[in-house]
Structure 1
Amino acid sequence: MPQIVVVVLTDATQIEPLLAGWVAAGARGITIIDSTGTARLSGGGWRDDTPLFPSLRDLLEQRDPDHRTLFTVADDRLVDALIAVAERVVGDFDADHTGLLFTLPVGRVLGLGRP
């Protein structure tokens, strides 16, 4: 059964090595979303000048340390490899201010195609 692997990064410099590692491990169709946690919102740090449809360049050039959420739908056989890559790039997810990683089972997937 496929799973969605979700990583919330607190350090935008980790996007490129995570993407490269996931692609090398076999991930396809990785999505990046600019995201903000409730702690940041309560501090009044939300930027209102972020484009509605930001490019990767927009995301990487942001001056504020907003979080980035990356996700991909992967076959069960790839999930452990994707988690290992994320842990190599990010370090210990249980340490403060490193990010969050979780997976969820996906009942049906349309649009992924097959290699």
Structure 2
Amino acid sequence: MQALFIVLNETQHLENILEAFVEVGVKGATIVDSQGMGRALASNSNQHLPLFGYLKTLMDDAHPYNKTIFTVLEDEELVEKAVKAVKGVVGDMNRPGVGFMFTVPVGKVYGLGKQ
């Protein structure tokens, strides 16, 4: 079992990712509004420090918030299908500003019941 996390900066892709998940058999996911550390530091009252002022300048045109999607997937085949689905929607994940995704092994899950 794996948890798949997607931090999506290009939030316009959210609905298409969720639709692609349904198509490949992902039965559920959780979406959380999130913000990167650099943006949080740049928008706080740390502007008197040169580094944070510089970060704010760099990020003025960037996405101020992102979406974090996570789902627990039972087998490796479904993980690969879900990853492929995300890449099919957003394209190259290595492009700056797109976001990133990763998996984490899950030992046990409580409260989901049989799906």
TM-score range, shorter chain: 0.7 to 0.9
Unmatched tracts of structure 1, length 5 or more: 46-63
| Pairwise CA distance, 1:65 | 4.2
TM-score by length of 1: 0.77
TM-score computed with the length of structure 2 as normaliser:
0.77
More helix by share: 2
Larger Rg: 2
Give the equivalent residue in structure 2 for 1:11: 10
Q: Aligned-pair RMSD on alpha carbons?
A: 1.5
Q: Is structure 2 residue 16 aligned with structure 1 residue 24?
A: no
Deviation digits for residues 32-86 of structure 1 (CA, Å, limit 9, x no counterpart): 00000011112207xxxxxxxxxxxxxxxxxx74100001001123000000001
- How many residue pairs get aligned? The number is 96
2:86: which partner in 1? 86
Q: Which aligned segments of 4 or more residues in structure 1 are displaced greater than 3 angstroms?
A: none
Does the CA-based 8 Å contact 1:12-1:65 persist in structure 2?
A: no
1:61-80 superposed matches below 5 A? 65-76=64-75, 77-80=77-80
